[in-house]
């Protein structure tokens, strides 16, 4: 298979960052039970919702990230919504399917085949618990990019990830491959964790979940998780804070305003 | 929600074990690209395949385990096949959806809602990397059972799971909950690992993947992974070795013979 470099996640991200200055990743956690009521009459409510969210937030989006769980929840219609959403998002904007898959052999081949070849996602999230074997299917597909779970911000990250430097061992696995093929999921946690993991992974893309519109967290992320201010190598994800901020007929306009607000806050922090 | 205890995975497993003496879990890794060619003309080839596999192997099955990756790979039709398969398998036979999900909060709620409430699976497999938070959605649903990834048999299990006793820390998390709600995925590896993990989890159900028809592995598993011979608390999974042993028009008869063979080998080992 011949790869056109401009089609890879890494190059789409770089181009989008340079052209728009955006670092906002819009999380499409499009839970059927949380949609604005008026959309439930649509043939495919989840796709109808996503279409309006994408149209309204696209100017501020460096990437979109649909979360598989919410598409499975709506059955076959949900899977159809996922397909339609990926088809609807313009080619130049990279898409990450968030499913935190971590398996081996023909199972991982099937996930990569589904997400990358069939749904045409540019990247997937990966759970590395079973070790480097989980990466081989992804790495053998020259178009695919993986964000590997490294540190999360939930309380029980202390059970395993923060014990015996497991997060640093995962970082070491990530940096043993090209930064154009693998990045890291790094929860927005303590300043020291962000600094520590960035120093271990100087060039890797960080996908950072768990940011609300709180200036505090955001400031620490921009300051300590960026590679440099001109080349931050981060994607700051916001899901519910943007897409479900409002449930009225105006939800998409409100989502647009929230995405713009987060984008502006990030721009300001980058410029100071 | 009122739980009928006889509907739980744990009690279905116990009943099935007592009634049939079977410990064989049939892995429905029903990859569209590996199906017998004559089935590709069916409206839903994956379901047509599963129906025949289930009908022919059911007498030897303590459980069935569809692997999500292969259903996603066939798009909407694949998800339809998964629904139809779960509907087709008789109520009294427990079904595990293998997706090794490991997420938190509303994402994990959505997975549990999809797999347990909507697809009506009795159990799911879980990746515990993010810590105990990944268990709360499952445990708050009284009908759901989880098999938590503890040790796997792939070479790179040594990257993380076999370092700093991570497998034992996971075992300790599993045993902090009821054995009627959580079991462990334990790869068929070294005798010493099987003994060690069984001694740490004396009453938990072990889901054991990676068994071919090799007498050696199987003997070690029966001997060292069973709780007792009268109450082994194990499920021995075989996928490709049963379902894809033959690709001719007779594939289902061959699958039946393979399931029967594995069942007989296990019975013999239990009786010696």
Contacts B187 to A, Cβ<8 Å: none
Average pLDDT over residues A199-210: 95
* pLDDT greater than 80 at residue B142: yes
- pLDDT single digits (tens) B177-188: 999 999 999 997
Among candidates A72, A113, A159 on the partner chain, residue whose Cβ is nearest the Cβ of B114: A72
Residue B1's pLDDT is what? Answer: 42
**Domain range spanning residue A242?**
5-266
Among candidates B72, B79, B161 on the partner chain, residue whose Cβ is nearest the Cβ of A75: B79
**Placement of tokens 């009284």 in the chain:** B142
B210 versus B104: which is more confidently predicted? B104
Contacts B27 to A, Cβ<8 Å: none
Question: Which residues of A are tagged catalytic?
Answer: 100
Q: Is residue A117 situated within a structural domain?
A: yes
Among candidates A73, A129, A163 on the partner chain, residue whose Cβ is nearest the Cβ of B127: A129
Asked if residue A110 lies in contact with residue B31, where contact means CB atoms within 8 angstroms, the answer is: yes
DSSP lists the bridge partners of residue A252 as: none
Of all residues in chain B, what percent carry a pLDDT higher than 70? 96
Q: For testing the chain A interface, which of B125, B126, B127, B164 should be mutated: the one with the most A CBs within 10 Å?
A: B127
Residue A1's pLDDT is what? Answer: 41
Residue A37's pLDDT is what? Answer: 97
* Cα A269 to Cα A272: distance, rounded to the nearest angstrom: 5
Q: Do B69 and A107 touch (CB under 8 A)?
A: yes
Q: Which two tokens stand for residue B27?
A: 């892995």
Asked if residue A226 lies in contact with residue A195, where contact means CB atoms within 8 angstroms, the answer is: no
Q: Which two tokens stand for residue B155?
A: 């070479």
Residue B212's pLDDT is what? Answer: 64
Confidence tier at B216 by pLDDT (50, 70, 90): low
Question: Which residues of B are tagged catalytic?
Answer: 100
* pLDDT greater than 60 at residue A190: yes
> Does the CA dihedral A104-A105-A106-A112 come out positive or negative?
positive
Q: How many CB atoms lie within 10 A of CB A111?
A: 27
- pLDDT single digits (tens) A217-269: 899 999 999 999 999 999 999 999 999 999 999 999 999 999 999 999 999 99
Q: Do A104 and B169 touch (CB under 8 A)?
A: no
* Cα A265 to Cα A25: distance, rounded to the nearest angstrom: 14
Q: Do B127 and A154 touch (CB under 8 A)?
A: no
Q: Which two tokens stand for residue A205?
A: 């893309």
Q: For testing the chain B interface, which of A33, A44, A100, A117 should be mutated: the one with the most B CBs within 10 Å?
A: A100
Contacts B132 to A, Cβ<8 Å: 156, 159
Asked if residue B192 lies in contact with residue B162, where contact means CB atoms within 8 angstroms, the answer is: no
Q: How far is A132 from chain B (nearest CA, A)?
A: 6
Nearest to B161 by CA among B202, B199, B196: B196
Q: Do A156 and B113 touch (CB under 8 A)?
A: no
DSSP lists the bridge partners of residue A149 as: A185
Residue A2's pLDDT is what? Answer: 43
Q: Do A111 and B158 touch (CB under 8 A)?
A: no
Using CA coordinates, name the residue in chain B closest to A172. B159
For residue B150, give the CATH number of its domain: 3.20.20.70
Residue B2's pLDDT is what? Answer: 43
Residue B75's pLDDT is what? Answer: 95
Lowest mean pLDDT among B60-64, B136-140, B211-215: B211-215
Q: Which two tokens stand for residue B238?
A: 């075989």
ipTM of predicted complex: 0.95
Predicted model pTM: 0.96
Residue B3's pLDDT is what? Answer: 45
* Cα B266 to Cα B270: distance, rounded to the nearest angstrom: 6
Residue A172's pLDDT is what? Answer: 98
**SS3 of residue A58 by DSSP:** helix
Lowest mean pLDDT among A19-28, A102-111, A174-183, B189-198: B189-198
Confidence tier at A216 by pLDDT (50, 70, 90): low
Look up residue A133 and give its DSSP letter.
G
Among candidates A70, A102, A114 on the partner chain, residue whose Cβ is nearest the Cβ of B127: A102
Average pLDDT over residues B185-212: 91
Q: Which two tokens stand for residue A62?
A: 């460096």
Q: How many CB atoms lie within 10 A of CB B43?
A: 8
Confidence tier at A3 by pLDDT (50, 70, 90): very low
Residue A110's pLDDT is what? Answer: 97
Q: Is residue A272 situated within a structural domain?
A: no
Average pLDDT over residues A142-159: 94
Contacts A147 to B, Cβ<8 Å: none
Q: Is residue A23 situated within a structural domain?
A: yes
Q: Is residue A244 situated within a structural domain?
A: yes
Number of domains in chain B: 1
Residue B210's pLDDT is what? Answer: 76
Residue B143's pLDDT is what? Answer: 83
* pLDDT greater than 70 at residue A141: yes
Q: How many CB atoms lie within 10 A of CB A155?
A: 12
* pLDDT greater than 90 at residue A6: no
Contacts B149 to A, Cβ<8 Å: 129-130
Query: Around B18, how many Cα atoms within 13 Å sit in the side-chain half-sphere?
Result: 7
Q: How far is A146 from chain B (nearest CA, A)?
A: 16
Q: Do A100 and B102 touch (CB under 8 A)?
A: yes
Asked if residue B150 lies in contact with residue B170, where contact means CB atoms within 8 angstroms, the answer is: yes
Q: Is residue A47 situated within a structural domain?
A: yes
Asked if residue A127 lies in contact with residue A149, where contact means CB atoms within 8 angstroms, the answer is: yes
Residue B190's pLDDT is what? Answer: 81
Among candidates A73, A129, A154 on the partner chain, residue whose Cβ is nearest the Cβ of B161: A129
Contacts A79 to B, Cβ<8 Å: 72, 75-76, 79
**SS3 of residue B207 by DSSP:** strand
Confidence tier at A212 by pLDDT (50, 70, 90): low
* Cα A213 to Cα B165: distance, rounded to the nearest angstrom: 39
* Cα A139 to Cα A5: distance, rounded to the nearest angstrom: 15
Cβ-Cβ contacts under 8 Å between A and B: the total is 163
Asked if residue A185 lies in contact with residue A146, where contact means CB atoms within 8 angstroms, the answer is: no
Q: Do B155 and A133 touch (CB under 8 A)?
A: yes
Using CA coordinates, name the residue in chain A closest to B28. A107
Of all residues in chain A, what percent carry a pLDDT higher than 90? 91
β pairing state of A234-238 and A206-208: parallel
* pLDDT greater than 70 at residue B135: yes
**Placement of tokens 């994956």 in the chain:** B46
Among candidates B31, B80, B164 on the partner chain, residue whose Cβ is nearest the Cβ of A106: B31
């Amino acid at each position: 298979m011949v790869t056109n470099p401009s089609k890879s996640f890494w190059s789409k991200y770089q181009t989008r960052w340079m052209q728009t200055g955006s670092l906002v990743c819009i999380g499409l956690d499009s839970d059927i039970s949380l949609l604005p009521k008026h959309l439930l009459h649509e043939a495919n409510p989840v796709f109808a919702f996503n279409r309006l969210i994408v149209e309204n937030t696209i100017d501020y989006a460096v990437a979109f990230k649909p979360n598989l769980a919410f598409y499975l929840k709506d059955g076959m219609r949900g899977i159809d919504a996922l397909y339609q959403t990926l088809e609807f998002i313009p080619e130049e904007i990279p898409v990450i399917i968030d499913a935190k898959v971590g398996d081996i052999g023909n199972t991982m081949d099937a996930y990569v085949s589904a997400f990358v070849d069939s749904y045409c996602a540019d990247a997937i999230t990966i759970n590395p618990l079973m070790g480097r074997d989980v990466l081989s299917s992804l790495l053998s597909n020259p178009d695919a990019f993986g964000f590997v779970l490294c540190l999360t911000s939930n309380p029980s990250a202390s059970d395993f990830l923060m014990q015996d430097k497991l997060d640093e061992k995962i970082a070491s696995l990530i940096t043993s491959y090209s930064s154009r093929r693998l990045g890291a999921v790094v929860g927005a946690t303590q300043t020291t964790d962000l600094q520590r993991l960035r120093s271990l992974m100087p060039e890797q893309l960080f996908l950072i979940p768990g940011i609300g519109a709180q200036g505090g967290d955001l400031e620490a992320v921009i300051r300590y998780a960026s590679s440099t201010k001109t080349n931050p190598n981060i994607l700051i994800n916001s899901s519910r804070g943007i897409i479900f901020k409002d449930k009225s007929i105006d939800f998409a306009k409100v989502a647009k305003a929230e995405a713009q607000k987060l984008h502006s806050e990030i721009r300001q922090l980058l410029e100071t």
